[in-house]
Structure 1
């Protein structure tokens, strides 16, 4: 009888699991089935074993039928609930059942740098020619835990992501593959050093060029938290997992304009989950993942041991594939790996594929990784040119690359070498002449010192006419003053936000937005100005030449109502997306600028913005010019593009890394409000980040922080001054000195490979 009671208890758990998935006990008579299960358990001593088994069998058949119906019609939000179930497997289950042995690094359990991030050195056994071979790997992933508060539900703090980055570099040093497992609803939004956004950016920057094979597997992928360990050579996803730019509840709160403290309706949450395209099938179709690992019906649980065997075979096969792509001789082995996958998906290939790479293979690995992310989401924006036009553009860019390489890498290098040799010879010759003439010079100087010398005329006297002419010369680094903000047209006064604290007087708007450049003359508070002010005042007049303006944002997910919003943004700005890219000049230095501006969808980043940024990096790299990312405003990744928007984080970071590695000078300047994904990737990875005074920089807004952490942050939490104290930026500049500051940065920072050095 004990076995039947245990079977009944498992059945009751399955009924509870269905109630959890459906978020209701009214679907499919679940409430009645749970009541029957309870009655049967209470009558265990009142009926015979045969009758108990008969009633249990009928109840089990009914529940099995409901499970099949549920699996067939799973919605996006129901998959989210499957992932969030306490019965689901975790990273610890994978470590114990997929790998032969493992050792946690950075502490174990609660005594850990950040228990939400687990790093382990593990061994995995591969069978090659029927013989077992043990291969070491580095396993890095979030641990949700089973109700332990210290795990924080897999939401990593900045120092947890820093720990992951540290051991990525250890794996690179040891030359072993890295297996990433993503189990996170998102990163923990705190700005304490090393900073939520800035650390994710550092992780991405590091992963772009790690010289070892990397495989990532996604169960729950929440935006930036997932990207912190998500960039890899092959991205797998569990069939019942989800990968999203934002949680469905978060999207519903934004779409429904839900006030703080209230919840969106279940119908709106379901709708947003569907529109975000968060399932494994959706992401495979969009190209943001490479393959799906099939789970049992209604998702795998911690006791599905056969499923762990499938994970083992898939992770071995994925590592083999990544390594094989780097080999010059691989045709037969590649065919065998594919054949084995088709015939026996749960069995790993038994082929000799060494996972250690030589230098040439590593270079190819990095090239393939770069190409993978460069080609991601190319179908999700407008302005794609015809093949003939692409051919012309390719020819022009190739010609440009050849010309600038010859001009600056070859001729300029030779010229520098000749100049260096001449300086060396001159220095040696001067030292030799000084040594030979030293006795005579000493005698001459002694005699000269005894003679009286006439007092020279004062150097401060000058021709008044010349002095007058000199005074008329304008400082070339002053603001060009060729544009006045339309905000100056109002004839009224405005009160400075710091009036109570610093006693600032009311400001007359024509003066504030005209002569004062939007800056309070008493306390220095910076009022927001439109992006056109910077275009007209910072850069040399007539030097701005816009490029790639034909690229425009689309609605790749067919998100309801988003076409109309895009149309309104185009009509308002005359632009196709929120990123304006152009050539410009500051005094005598030419540079490439990419500008995220607030007028178009609050400066959010989608596929079009990411593509324009990558192309700006390519042009700056080719022409050996500085690259300025001026962030007028960015609200983060555009949620209406789902993971196609999230993909811009690794894609743009890859472009930045390649530009910097080529000797480029990448400067980021934040203004107004700069938050979320862009700061946590291609902006936050710059070694030279500055902010305009009174700007705000961070990972998440105050409301998100309060709802996620329960912490009520102070009003100045995201101020540029605090970002500077935390080490997230390198300096703060006054808007009136921006042109001068930018010129000084370009003169003093960057490598000798820049064209003007």
Structure 2
């Protein structure tokens, strides 16, 4: 019976090896197949003839060959390892790493979302003569071992909402959070609460979550990974991958393939290598803190030594995160820093933190992400200009502190006191003089002076509704900047001509006076970002900053340098982001614009850095921060994780700005999809869209390819985003400046002193 089990185990191992390497048969695999074939043939002819010693030698040969094959793994081989049904899953980790656990939010198929698993677990530690239970909240995607209801670890919006709920529970209970990333990507549906919107909420809350967060990466697919991956310590399994997109997705984009057409294996292998997705790549780039070595060809459920190593690594990482912020560190903190993970269980440290320690924890987390991806952008600003900019920033911060925090607080107190006294005096005066005023009104009734008539007229003008006859009050037709399409001598048909019977429009009228809006049905034709820069933000009178930060090719992605140069020549921009200071009807604001003509408005390290600096500038100067999205295709895939990491980085910058009392307002236009919408744009409490814009997590083609569901033509329209609460209003293009000004006067945080 033991021999049968050994033979079956060897057959499973050979099948696993062939699954990993696919059609790539080398000498080691052929040798293993031949030797195992001989054993199976003899066993079939004469059962019991194969000896235990012979099977042991064959197992040793398998061990040697697996180590040899492991050294030659390509990035795509590692992708196949983490996708294999025999790969360890979160349930295996709960069973073998923690001493006890209780699953929360349902079990198995009867769950809010079976792809997201939540458990309350603990480590049992011996301290002297006592045993102590150290509680943690375990959160992660559950792929399972081929269970279809797990959806391959692709989490729906409500699964991420469940994860966020229990993160907040852990924050309340003052226990650490251990997150496990086992996902090819989030499930791209916009059903409430919406994939993009929920990932943005998770990132926003994790940016300032007052609990230690330890993240373990096995398969990290873009935004789905970031939904639970923003941690104080990030551990990556040696055979895992962490990427902006799957190699197959990158190959489809590179090859320009249509839906249903698959890329060649050679192109997929090439893209997997270009994207720098392995644990070693991410460690070198600084996006994970350490790599945990797995057994040859990846960890599987029977690798119990690996589970012991993972347990020690989790305890060590949690100890490090906690000891770094504790006020009384003494010798244990030094011992933790000096120790290896195999010594972790010998050092005990309480994991609950004081309020001040939690504040330090959040500050260190935010500073850690702020320092990332410096190598992935080019800053052409000279040393002198940097020094001047730094000095000016310090002056601005000091000026704001003195004006608003020191003098401003005293002024507010005095203003409040005088307002209260004035209100009391007004009431007394009103009560004393009202009888005398009524008597005088009776004597003078019927005789209205010229001055009185003027006063009545002024009162009516101030109190009546504006434009009562014409409906909405649109701005005049004299725009500062006119689209070049207004020079075309032709007529344009409105797409709604069949339903609204719109007449043909002459291009000079449509793209000139009408600002690209059909006067009959209100359909918005696409308009250049320059139209908004000049007519909404008065760009010519603004002060642009950080224009020397430039997009580069950090992964040396093949032919991407040429594509970047072409985009720079065409748009005369150095990145897809423009940042500047402007005034909207006298209200000064900081603006960041994502420009669709530059690589689809995709976000990389340069764009992320410019966005962060704009948020920091708005915070220093106590000004509103406006993000206008002329269009974004998402995270720039050619920058790999250098692009993905901008999701948590920019979200942290926004969180710091909002927590400091600023007003952050986002306006979407044309097509806005993927990572930026699922992070630093989607986390704004004030989001608006221009009519006819499209907003979502993934485009129609990606949704159809991923889910197999048909996508309605209007699935991503702004009105659907409004109905599910993603955005909070839809604006006519001609009224954007007026609506922005109104928003600046009526919305926002406590540090907007212009009011």
Distance 1:406 1:480, change over 3 A: farther
Cross-structure match for 1:587: 585
C-alpha offsets along residues 16-70 of structure 1, whole Å, 9 cap, x if unaligned?
A: 1110110127333646744663563354264374645465456445434432221
Distance 1:358 1:309, change over 3 A: same
In the alignment, is residue 459 of structure 1 matched against residue 457 of structure 2? no
Distance 2:546 2:437 in 1: 69
C-alpha offsets along residues 203-245 of structure 1, whole Å, 9 cap, x if unaligned?
A: 0000011111111000000000000001111111111110000
Cross-structure match for 1:114: 113
State which of 727, 751, 754 in structure 2 corresponds to 1:753. 751
Residues 520-529 or 547-556, more deviating: 520-529
Cα offset, 1:634, TM superposition: 0.3
Q: Secondary structure at the match of 2:716?
A: coil
Cross-structure match for 1:414: 410
Residues 204-213 or 479-488, more deviating: 479-488
Distance 1:681 1:45 in 2: 59
Distance 1:450 1:185 in 2: 84
Distance 1:560 1:540, change over 3 A: closer
Cross-structure match for 2:438: 445
State which of 399, 415, 422 in structure 2 corresponds to 1:426. 422
Distance 1:127 1:480, change over 3 A: farther
Using the size of structure 1 for normalisation, the TM-score is 0.94
Distance 1:448 1:77, change over 3 A: closer
Cross-structure match for 1:14: 13
Distance 1:488 1:62, change over 3 A: same
Contact preservation (8 Å) 2:43, 2:50: no
Cα offset, 1:100, TM superposition: 1.3
Structure 2: tracts of 5 or more residues without a match: 462-466, 468-472
Distance 1:613 1:24 in 2: 45
Distance 1:323 1:391 in 2: 36
Contact preservation (8 Å) 2:494, 2:504: yes
Contact preservation (8 Å) 2:28, 2:65: no
Contact preservation (8 Å) 2:477, 2:514: no
Cross-structure match for 1:226: 225
Contact preservation (8 Å) 1:217, 1:236: yes
Distance 1:665 1:650 in 2: 19
Distance 2:192 2:713 in 1: 18
Q: Secondary structure at the match of 1:697?
A: strand
Residues 406-415 or 661-670, more deviating: 406-415
Contact preservation (8 Å) 1:496, 1:504: yes
In the alignment, is residue 283 of structure 1 matched against residue 279 of structure 2? no
Cross-structure match for 1:676: 674
Contact preservation (8 Å) 2:381, 2:548: no
Structure 1: tracts of 5 or more residues without a match: none
Q: Secondary structure at the match of 1:352?
A: coil
C-alpha offsets along residues 58-97 of structure 1, whole Å, 9 cap, x if unaligned?
A: 6445434432221111100000011011111100111111
Q: What is the 5 A alignment of 1:292-331? A: 292-330=291-329
Distance 2:283 2:41 in 1: 48
Distance 1:537 1:47 in 2: 88
Q: Secondary structure at the match of 1:401?
A: helix
Distance 1:282 1:500 in 2: 54
Q: Secondary structure at the match of 1:677?
A: helix
Distance 2:406 2:339 in 1: 50
Distance 1:453 1:606 in 2: 73
Distance 1:80 1:116, change over 3 A: same
Q: What is the 5 A alignment of 1:564-579? A: 564-579=562-577
State which of 342, 351, 362 in structure 1 corresponds to 2:347. 351
Cα offset, 1:399, TM superposition: 1.6
Q: What is the 5 A alignment of 1:712-731? A: 712-731=710-729
Distance 1:234 1:461 in 2: 68
Distance 2:112 2:633 in 1: 31
State which of 558, 561, 565 in structure 2 corresponds to 1:560. 558
Contact preservation (8 Å) 2:486, 2:512: yes
In the alignment, is residue 368 of structure 1 matched against residue 364 of structure 2? yes
Cross-structure match for 1:159: 158
Using the size of structure 2 for normalisation, the TM-score is 0.94
C-alpha offsets along residues 674-710 of structure 1, whole Å, 9 cap, x if unaligned?
A: 0000000000000110000111001001111011111
Cross-structure match for 1:37: 36
Distance 2:644 2:542 in 1: 30
C-alpha offsets along residues 171-225 of structure 1, whole Å, 9 cap, x if unaligned?
A: 1111111000000000000000100000000000000111111110000000000
Contact preservation (8 Å) 2:605, 2:643: yes
Q: CA RMSD in A?
A: 2.4
Distance 1:217 1:54 in 2: 40
Distance 1:253 1:110, change over 3 A: same
Distance 2:205 2:380 in 1: 31
Contact preservation (8 Å) 1:218, 1:237: yes
Cross-structure match for 2:84: 85
Contact preservation (8 Å) 1:253, 1:263: yes
Q: Secondary structure at the match of 1:513?
A: helix
Contact preservation (8 Å) 1:185, 1:220: yes
Q: What is the 5 A alignment of 1:66-105? A: 66-105=65-104
Cross-structure match for 1:169: 168
Distance 1:478 1:516, change over 3 A: closer
Distance 1:594 1:163 in 2: 32
State which of 652, 655, 660 in structure 1 corresponds to 2:653. 655
Residues 114-123 or 648-657, more deviating: 114-123
Distance 1:478 1:106, change over 3 A: farther
Cα offset, 1:253, TM superposition: 0.3
Residues 58-67 or 278-287, more deviating: 58-67
Cα offset, 1:362, TM superposition: 1.4
Cα offset, 1:755, TM superposition: 3.0
Cα offset, 1:449, TM superposition: 3.5
Distance 1:656 1:480, change over 3 A: farther
Q: What is the 5 A alignment of 1:453-602? A: 453-456=446-449, 459=453, 481-540=479-538, 542-602=540-600
C-alpha offsets along residues 276-295 of structure 1, whole Å, 9 cap, x if unaligned?
A: 00000000001111111111
Distance 1:556 1:443, change over 3 A: closer
Contact preservation (8 Å) 1:118, 1:140: yes
In the alignment, is residue 182 of structure 1 matched against residue 177 of structure 2? no
Distance 1:656 1:404 in 2: 19
Distance 1:621 1:723 in 2: 29
Q: Secondary structure at the match of 1:575?
A: coil
Distance 2:360 2:227 in 1: 24
Contact preservation (8 Å) 1:631, 1:670: yes
Q: What is the 5 A alignment of 1:368-407? A: 368-383=364-379, 385=381, 389-407=385-403
Contact preservation (8 Å) 1:492, 1:508: yes
Q: Secondary structure at the match of 1:348?
A: helix
Distance 2:634 2:46 in 1: 63
Q: Secondary structure at the match of 2:294?
A: coil
Contact preservation (8 Å) 2:312, 2:344: yes
Cα offset, 1:444, TM superposition: 7.0
Distance 1:534 1:299, change over 3 A: same
Contact preservation (8 Å) 2:96, 2:304: yes
